[in-house]
Chains A and B, each alone.
Chain A
């Protein structure tokens, strides 16, 4: 069996973004492996640990993506393919370029992040499935293989969750709760240097061109809860944290 994780490198959510000349300036910003892609990497490693076979990470992006790829290798992925393309490519164009390589790899399944933190888009996974003409399971929180032909997966819907059986190969996208990613170990980091990282130049032209970027200024909501009834206030706070802030 072969398991593929598709990953991207994005700005750390804690870093402060600047706009220079109508474009986001990434200079001085810490770049990290997209957290949702990290769940995908972790799940692929777990599937390999459980079922054997091979784990591969595929990334499409500029040279600097190599850091994120090395992180995935340090976590335990066997080898990597880096499709090198500088500049912006829209998700559909990306999916087409990725699909060519992934089809050639012929994996059992592909995992990627449910959402791309930098574009705030959820398109890449479904677009990749479309380009491969494979089924897609988005927002996966649990996956279990049934032999080499099917997988049973639980995934989130807007108002709940459902359990599906899907024919493989298929594309899965990750959701919070899927797993707790491991830290790369020191020996893992040292070993990552010696793992295969194949670079493939890509010359695709984006169907979407970014003309101007601005940063949304969000003002505080200043929500106040009436504390006359402490029990009711606590319930309301929990509800707000859970449903609106979605932090618990």
Chain B
């Protein structure tokens, strides 16, 4: 890995300390109760970690994406639920507002999001429009002074908790992005979905019944919503890939330590080649995944097109997360299946990284298309 600058090192030292002392300690409790981790988010907000890459002028810290990705890895290693909330609020709504928003929109929405006073959500998926977002149906009908939104959105991370939603809807000019506030009349939320993992990161349905969105809350150009959302997803995928690396690393570290302590047949189990080789492979795959994440982040920082690299990193890192966490459970044997040892949690959480922000299959479509671009 490239040598870190003093700033990057200092940021990571701080993030590591907070992750260890604040997030890691409470992660099992939030996973068990499924409560949205507001106290954790508030603490991260106070430290400026909710708007890491948003420019300082808009209330953020103006960090580069490489530092952001490394910080995401640390946070995900401590609590993957907190990590996905963070990845979404900064990687999607903040990124889109910063890139496509007007001055007034930035002032009103980006600043509180970057300062962490608010959490942001991104709403593209619908019950019948997942991998095929172009088929979305949420309607945006032109009315005097703005639009009226009607329809359903699903799988919205931080749904019901976030104060601001970037919503893609279909109007006369095609798909456009709208900024919708949580307490807008006509907007209601389903109860949090019961999921395999990431219990504290609420995911729910959004129902739009005659939701009025004023003219000034159209984000960017009318009809450009899908392209904007896809640009947002390129950025978001780096965050998810970093989250996957963090989960894999955390599970690997538990397995590595366990293999050094557990003895069977009179020797440490890491001395059995079957376990030692497993650990060697896990380490190698994590290192490779991290390198891909940082390559995508570095390309983004240089201002170059990074769609290919983001999808490559997301595809590989999420597969690594699933395989490494599965192997980690195996290294711990029966204890791995026990909640107290914490690896089973990463195994449950890891699976969704192959699904959200574009399934592995969609990443392959993107990669195959980008190869001939």
Contact = CB atoms under 8 A, between A and B. Distances in A.
A183 B15 CA distance: 9
| Most chain B beta-carbon contacts within 10 A, residue among A187, A188, A192 | A187
Interface in A132-189: 183-189
Contact of B63 (A66, A183, A186, A188): A186
A70 B14 CA distance: 12
Contacts of B48: 185-188
A193 interface: yes
Main secondary structure of the interface of A (DSSP, over half): helix
A183 B10 contact: no
A114 to B, nearest CB: 22
B62 interface: yes
A70 B10 CA distance: 8
B355 interface: no
A185 B7 contact: no
Nearest to A187: B48
Contact of B14 (A66, A67, A183): A183
Interface size class of A (residues with CB under 8 A): 10 to 19
Interface residues of B, number: 18
B46 A185 contact: yes
Interface string B56-95: 1000011100000000000000000000000000000000
B11 interface: yes
B339 interface: no
Given A70-B10, A74-B10, A190-B61, A185 B56 contact: no
B203 to A, nearest CB: 27
Given A66-B6, A74-B10, A186 B17 contact: no
B47 interface: yes
Nearest to A184: B14
A186 B6 contact: no
A186 B49 contact: yes
A186 B47 contact: yes
Interface string B11-25: 101100110000000
A189 B48 CA distance: 10
Contact of B11 (A32, A66, A67, A189): A189
Contacts of B49: 186
B9 interface: yes
A67 B61 contact: no
Contacts of A115: none
Nearest to B52: A186
B62 A189 contact: no
Contacts of B10: 67, 70-71, 74, 184, 189, 192
B47 A67 contact: no
A183 B46 CA distance: 10
A49 to B, nearest CB: 15
A193 B47 contact: no
A186 B48 CA distance: 5
Contact of B56 (A70, A190, A192): A190
Interface of B: 6-7, 9-11, 13-14, 17-18, 46-49, 52, 56, 61-63
Interface of A: 32, 66-67, 70-71, 74, 183-190, 192-193
5 contacts: A32-B13, A70-B6, A183-B18, A189-B14, A193-B7
Given A66-B6, A185-B48, A187-B48, 16 more contacts: A32-B13, A67-B6, A71-B13, A74-B10, A184-B10, A185-B14, A185-B46, A186-B14, A187-B56, A187-B61, A188-B48, A189-B14, A189-B61, A190-B7, A190-B61, A193-B7
